[in-house]
């Protein structure tokens, strides 16, 4: 089962499969541990919000790291149709962590 992930502006970004975040082209980007999202190199990306967005507090130290997690050995099937969502209003003290991709 996959979970769709969107940018804060409502555009489809990718999906989560087996606690791994993939972009819309199926490239492994990050993994999810609880609500924390970590880039594949082990650096902190942000927090999973509302089950569909990755935001980072602007006051968070972005150098927070942990041990990297490899991509799964098998590749998930990409979702077929992923309609955009309505853009969300700006959230004070947060940025869309997916803007760096």
Query: Domain coordinates of the chain in residue numbers?
Result: 3-100
Nearest to 4 by CA among 55, 52, 72, 71: 52
**Would you say residue 37 has pLDDT above 80?**
yes
Question: How does the average pLDDT of the chain come out, rounded?
Answer: 88
Tokens 């150098």: give the residue: 63
Task: Measure the CA–CA gap between 8 and 68, rounded to whole angstroms.
Answer: 26
Instruction: Give, as one character, the DSSP assignment of residue 99.
Output: G
Max CA-CA distance within the chain?
Answer: 39
Task: Measure the CA–CA gap between 33 and 2, rounded to whole angstroms.
Answer: 16
Express each pLDDT in 46-90 by its tens digit. 999 999 999 999 876 666 677 777 777 777 778 877 788 898 988
């Amino acid at each position: 089962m996959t979970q769709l992930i969107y940018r804060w502006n409502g555009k489809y970004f990718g999906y989560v499969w087996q606690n791994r975040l993939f972009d819309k082209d199926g490239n492994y980007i990050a993994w999810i541990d609880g609500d924390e999202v970590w880039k594949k190199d082990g650096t902190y990306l942000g927090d999973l919000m509302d089950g569909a967005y990755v935001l980072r507090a602007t006051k968070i130290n972005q150098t927070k790291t942990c041990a990297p997690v490899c991509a799964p050995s098998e590749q998930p099937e990409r979702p077929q149709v992923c309609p955009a969502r309505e853009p969300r209003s700006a959230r004070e003290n947060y940025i869309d962590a997916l803007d760096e991709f």
